[in-house]
Structure 1
Amino acid sequence: MTADVSRRRFLAALGGSAMLTLWPGLSPAASGGAQTRLLVVLLRGAMDGLHLLPPRDDADYLRARGPLAVRDALPLDGSFGLHPKLPFAHGLYAKQELLPLVAVAPPYRLRSHFDAQDCLENGTAMPGGARDGWIGRCIDTMAHDAGVAIAQVMPLAMRGSERAEIWSPPLPREVPDTLMQQLQPLYASDPRLAPMFDDAMAAVAMDMSANGMSGNGAGGARGAFRLPEAMAAAAKRMQGANAARIGFVEDSGWDTHRGQQLALDRKFAELDAGLRAYREGIGADWSNTVVAVVTEFGRTVAANGSAGTDHGVGGAALLAGGAVRGGRIAGDWPGLAPAALFEGRDLRPTTDLRAVFKGLLAGHLAVSEAALDTRIFPDSRTLRPMAGLLRA
């Protein structure tokens, strides 16, 4: 089973109706100089791509996932479905404004959250490959444009540009450490809830550590900002002729070692609400917008013994927006047969996320080839931009 469209089948998919250019897929908005918008949404914790985009009738998937398999997915093409908690996104797919990408990952091939997020955000081939981020470097290549991160602390991806700003809610919701200390023994006494409580607190600690924050144990005072609120805030700050053209939103809580079904029901519903909030907030600029939803890696193909999944490699991504050439599945699908898996356990990644980002920056924001290959994604000349992502 192969997803359409792979890069090597791009010309066939075009049907000969378009003229080849150095950067195929250049959107009318970018080529015409319109105020295009790009919002990057990073789901920290390794979102399970096979739960987001289940290969519905794949015998290997059903066998490996067992009771955890998503059997009521919203239909997309003849092979994949979309998680049922994403009805708004499914509507975008019907309008050809949602493009799911399968078997994608950063070039990092191990399974550390911190290293994988570092690699994804710094834009190089390895963790620690740069001290600033690919989005920040991109902003600096654009003449007068600015970027905005909706976060408590400037994320690595946006560092490196004086024109990258940060905005956080003025009244964040905080959970005092004392309250968490009181709740812990209550959850600890329940054999089902105790592991979920521990996982939630570990996710908070990991998120704080990734952002260079300190806190006392599980509670902290980070002040969570839910994804729909963050995406609505991004839309407000990216709307209009003089607004930021590049935005960044982050969300944590996607590390689902236990109780994955209930956890992802909630998280995917929040993601769906976030896409709706951004679509409604950005208004007429939606037609010139791409929203890229990405994560640092995927999960194991097989479920574990705790009704969850463990750290994997190959994952999935979503592109949404009026500038997206959607209504289909993109990427090369390697299948889930045991012999096709990465190290015998994970979906094998076939597309480097940097190629996706390159395709968007070149075609949507009209960033030059030289800047992409040497400055924004250093030493990446051999990695070609993924084509066919944008309306043309």
Structure 2
Amino acid sequence: MILSRRSIILSGITVAAAGALPGFAYAAAGTPKRLVFIIQRGAADGLGIVAPTGDPAFAAARRAMADETAGGAKLDGMFTLHPAMAATAGLYIGKQAHFAHAVATAYRDRSHFDGQNMLEGGGSRPYGRDTGWVGRLLTLLPAAERDAIAIAPAVPLALRGTVQVGTYAPSRLPQADADLIARLTAMYADDPLLHPLWGSAVKTQELASDIGGDNGRNGAELGKLAASLMVPTDGARVMMVETGGWDTHSGQRGRLAAQLRGLDQLISALQTGLGPAWTDTLVLVATEFGRTVEVNGTGGTDHGTASTAMLLGGGLEAGGKVSADWPGLSPTARYEGRDLKPTRNLESVIATAVAHHYALDPKRVMATLYPDA
């Protein structure tokens, strides 16, 4: 279903602005470009997503879990894509997907909250910025291209800034337990106005928090929703989608596969829903940090450092490629003896991709998105 601006507002989107960043006197020509930032909250395992099967130390470190890549698409002589990402593999073949490996923000202390704050705020230290890199990017775009929305219960840090943005989700649903949600659902059951709105809100929250649910179909529904909010001529041009469930401390083998299946279907549904607009869309997928090289005693991995970022869309400059200054996975090559060592800044990957996408000056983009760099 394609939603008009009015129906979006009636469906419970709230508009908010935060921060006190001075506006830039910078103008650009109107563009049909669209940007989607998908955040993987919980530290996604880049070594499991884009596996370095050509590194002899990989199989030894991952042991039985290394077999999970069997059947995945061979991206090149070094890397194999997780088999749960079949649609994304097709995008890679069509030069519409690029993977940046061994990347990380400047953060190194392995706290989810601090790491996500660094990823979203783009500062040089946790809580050093009260606005986000996407929010600051909006100031570089012409007014007609600044419509931004997050599929999230509140405006995420990444979108905060001087430009007003919207959210599509109930503001307090994550704090409500299942019993309360069930009681409210029953309360609204006979209300012709509130019942469908409440049902939509609950469904949206379920999709965002469990993209791997229902064999990945939750991810597909979330992708369809995202596309429906961007396709209309008066729809959003910039979007952030929150996904959770990437913290795989135990039982990673099945859990990661489910998450990636959901992400894969989210991306595929977004591409299908956008139709011709996919050609002018850039999708960025990133996480706060990666996971350890070695498997722990419960069949999972612990908080690490470098991971993988994904760039997808119909007009990529370097699609069909894995870019990596590969450090190796031998114990002596690891960061602090345990993690994939970062060899490139995630900030530079994001800034370069965004600058090319919008045909903006790369130095101006880097200085705006990451002023502390």
Normalising TM by the smaller chain, what interval?
0.7 to 0.9
Cα deviation, 1:161-197, whole Å, max 9, x if unaligned, reads 3332111279x898615899xxxxxxxxxxxxxxxxx
Question: Which position in structure 1 is the counterpart of 2:131?
Answer: 132
Question: How far off its partner does 1:370 sit?
Answer: 5.8
Query: Share of identical aligned residues, percent?
Result: 39
Once residues 124 and 265 of structure 1 are traced to their aligned partners in structure 2, the CA distance between those partners, rounded to angstroms, is 32
Distance change (3 Å), C-alpha of 1:53 and 1:131: same
3-state SS of 1:41 partner? strand
Structure 2 matches for 1:358-373, cutoff 5 A? 358-369=351-362, 371-373=364-366
3-state SS of 2:309 partner? strand
Once residues 175 and 379 of structure 1 are traced to their aligned partners in structure 2, the CA distance between those partners, rounded to angstroms, is 40
Question: Which position in structure 2 is the counterpart of 1:42?
Answer: 39
TM-score scaled to structure 2, two decimals? 0.77
Structure 2 matches for 1:274-285, cutoff 5 A? 274-285=266-277
State whether structure 2 residue 329 is matched by structure 1 residue 336: yes
Counterpart code for 1:151? A
Match of 1:55 among 44, 52, 67: 52
Does the CA-based 8 Å contact 1:42-1:251 persist in structure 2? yes
Question: Which position in structure 2 is the counterpart of 1:11?
Answer: none
Does the CA-based 8 Å contact 1:41-1:291 persist in structure 2? yes
Question: How far off its partner does 1:329 sit?
Answer: 0.8
State whether structure 2 residue 237 is matched by structure 1 residue 236: no
Q: Which segment is superposed worse, 331-340 or 83-92?
A: 331-340
Provide the alpha-carbon RMSD of the alignment.
2.5
Structure 2 matches for 1:213-228, cutoff 5 A? 223-226=205-208, 227=211, 228=219
Question: How far off its partner does 1:298 sit?
Answer: 0.3
Once residues 325 and 29 of structure 2 are traced to their aligned partners in structure 1, the CA distance between those partners, rounded to angstroms, is 31
Once residues 328 and 361 of structure 1 are traced to their aligned partners in structure 2, the CA distance between those partners, rounded to angstroms, is 17
Structure 1: gaps of 5 or more residues: 1-30, 181-219, 381-392
TM-score scaled to structure 1, two decimals? 0.74
Distance change (3 Å), C-alpha of 1:260 and 1:161: same
Structure 2: gaps of 5 or more residues: 1-27, 183-201, 212-218
Once residues 40 and 121 of structure 1 are traced to their aligned partners in structure 2, the CA distance between those partners, rounded to angstroms, is 10
| Equivalences, count | 310
Structure 2 matches for 1:1-392, cutoff 5 A? 34-69=31-66, 70-72=68-70, 73-144=72-143, 145-168=146-169, 176-177=178-179, 223-226=205-208, 227=211, 228=219, 229-324=221-316, 325-369=318-362, 371-380=364-373
Q: Which segment is superposed worse, 42-51 or 364-373?
A: 364-373
Once residues 290 and 115 of structure 1 are traced to their aligned partners in structure 2, the CA distance between those partners, rounded to angstroms, is 26
Counterpart code for 1:161? T
Once residues 181 and 159 of structure 2 are traced to their aligned partners in structure 1, the CA distance between those partners, rounded to angstroms, is 34
Cα deviation, 1:246-276, whole Å, max 9, x if unaligned, reads 1100111100010000101111110111011
Cα deviation, 1:231-260, whole Å, max 9, x if unaligned, reads 322211222444322110011110001000
Counterpart code for 1:309? T
Cα deviation, 1:51-97, whole Å, max 9, x if unaligned, reads 00111242211011101113403211111101011110011111111
Does the CA-based 8 Å contact 2:293-2:338 persist in structure 1? yes
Cα deviation, 1:322-352, whole Å, max 9, x if unaligned, reads 0123111112111112221100110011111
Question: How far off its partner does 1:125 sit?
Answer: 1.7
Does the CA-based 8 Å contact 2:47-2:307 persist in structure 1? yes
Once residues 179 and 239 of structure 1 are traced to their aligned partners in structure 2, the CA distance between those partners, rounded to angstroms, is 31
Once residues 97 and 136 of structure 1 are traced to their aligned partners in structure 2, the CA distance between those partners, rounded to angstroms, is 26
Does the CA-based 8 Å contact 2:136-2:369 persist in structure 1? yes
Counterpart code for 2:136? R
Once residues 91 and 52 of structure 1 are traced to their aligned partners in structure 2, the CA distance between those partners, rounded to angstroms, is 15
Once residues 178 and 167 of structure 1 are traced to their aligned partners in structure 2, the CA distance between those partners, rounded to angstroms, is 21
Once residues 269 and 309 of structure 1 are traced to their aligned partners in structure 2, the CA distance between those partners, rounded to angstroms, is 19
